[in-house]
Structure 1
Amino acid sequence: MNPLSISVVIPAYNAGPYLAATLQSILSQGAEDVEVVLVDGNSTDNTLAVAAAFSSLCIRLISEPDRGQLDALQKGLRKASGDIILWLNADDVVMPGAFSEVRSIFATRNVDFVYSDDAAFHEECRGYYYGAPIRGLSDLDHFLFYRQLYSECVYWKRSITRYLPTDAYEYRVYTDYAFFLRLRWGRRGRWTDKRLGAFRIREGQASAQFRARKRHEYLSVKKMHREHIKMSRSAFVLAQIAYWPWFVVRQRVIPELERAMRRVLRFLTNDRKRIAETDYFYSSWLLPVGSTRPRNDEIH
């Protein structure tokens, strides 16, 4: 039986310094039954040249002006043909073995999307970090409060894709929150303990550029979803009050206890596991910033 095909949709604009690492992390999963839909917003740097160097990948290119990340993403989604979809930003990376893990879950479980906790990395200082645990993140956890799905760690069946209205194209900080609220609502998700993706920490990211817009966008996303599911403002507030203790225990207290236990274990073992993982990530997995050609070796 042929493996489930995967489409990786990558919105990009002037992503030349980072795109090679992103594409290499996809290629290293194995190129069979994988397509990349690269949606370029008319970059003025070497983004397209970097993509052209990856001839081993099936890359479908859209290069034209857009109205922001969500516009670019939804253009790419409409062109994607894979059974499974991943939205990967042009500076983030797929983690080793992610495609194999995801295909196995979809092949053996009756689920609509698969997600994981994430990792984050800061290449300049060789930092490597674990994101907040989100195991068991429910629709209400996600909507009533704020515990995000990490876009680089969410894979979904193409058949459940939902599109946001053009009004949402103006979002710059909470684009992923808006998109995944709509996508996952009422769907069956499964968390895996294997971290599927890694988020790059760098200067000039949207959360820093558009800091002044965060509060307005956050409230706007919640309002848009309330209206989508036909929930009144008063019902929303009452639901928050009623659900708050359950959310705090499951998504705040328990994860913090788990993180504390991991810190103790790291101390007792001299952090050997994290040191080894960091060393592998930087020495064997991540293509260094500024590289424009794929590596000759492919890690499967």
Structure 2
Amino acid sequence: MSTPISPCVKCGDPGSKRCSRCWDAPEYRPGDANPTRYCSTECQKADWVAHKSHCTTLSRRTKLLRAATILRAALLAYRERFFDIPLSKIELGKDGAVLYLYRDVSPRPFPNGLTHDSKHKEAALTHNMCTLAFAMLGPLTRKLLAGVASSIESLDLQIEKPVFRTHLVEYLADGIDSNGGPHTVLIVRLHNNEAWIIDTAGTQYGFKEVLVPFERYIKDRASSNFVNGPPTKYTACETTDLDFMKEFFPDYPKAGLDILEKEKKARLHFARFVENRVGVRKGRDLKDSVFDPSKDFGGSKEEFDTKFGELMKEMKRHLEGFK
């Protein structure tokens, strides 16, 4: 595919050269991420003083988008490995507003053969999983966003405009278990005070974008009446939700505690990968890291896609090794 020709921002001549640092950045407001083009390296260098501030903003957005992409992929990989809802059928309702997940009697791995629609598969994997995502992805989120975000907060809100909702149909009754409760997302602020939403479990509502400007997210997806108060600092670790359950529900049935303990072991297995293979751990060589956020977010889309693919391959291999 040929590179589009646009006027060079420095001299006005036809330009096909683009700034690689801020290419493919998401828009915060319409039109504010249009690519900057040059006719030559000389014009690009001459324009750097004028372009630097805008370039820095866009490159941070690109890193944020790439981090959010990794976080969603990590959640989906974990859920596919440790899927705990036995399903017999996945079916979109006739009006397209509800994706029905029919519960089966016997536990089984995620049944890939039940749907060939990736959106429906991701919706099933993330059904009622925003709390798991909130906890499990905490340390990974902070590693990936170090130096990119000025603050990270969690927020509970109500989704009012889903593409569709996922409903779990129980096998012993006709009733439907709806995910109508609060939905947890992250608010990430950049150093220029842009506020973004990262919604790793939004696929259960049919949402494709994992990263959305805060104002647009509220306008297009959710209520502005926050469910559990204002945003709070994001300090969760991989087992925060499980530890809460054990502490505040001391009379939890033994069978339930056994399930929580098994889930905790799986989460800690995931945590070891994050600790040892993402970024540089004190006392370990950089070569042990499969993804270094300090440098692997940069470069072209193709270069990032390669590193992203390597990261997910190693992560899935690690998850498969859980016993």
- TM-score interval w.r.t. the shorter chain? under 0.3
TM-score normalised to the size of structure 1?
0.28
Higher relative contact order (CA 8 A, sep 6+): 1
TM-score normalised to the size of structure 2?
0.27
Q: Which one has a larger percent helix, Structure 1 or Structure 2? A: 1
* Structure of higher CA gyration radius: 2
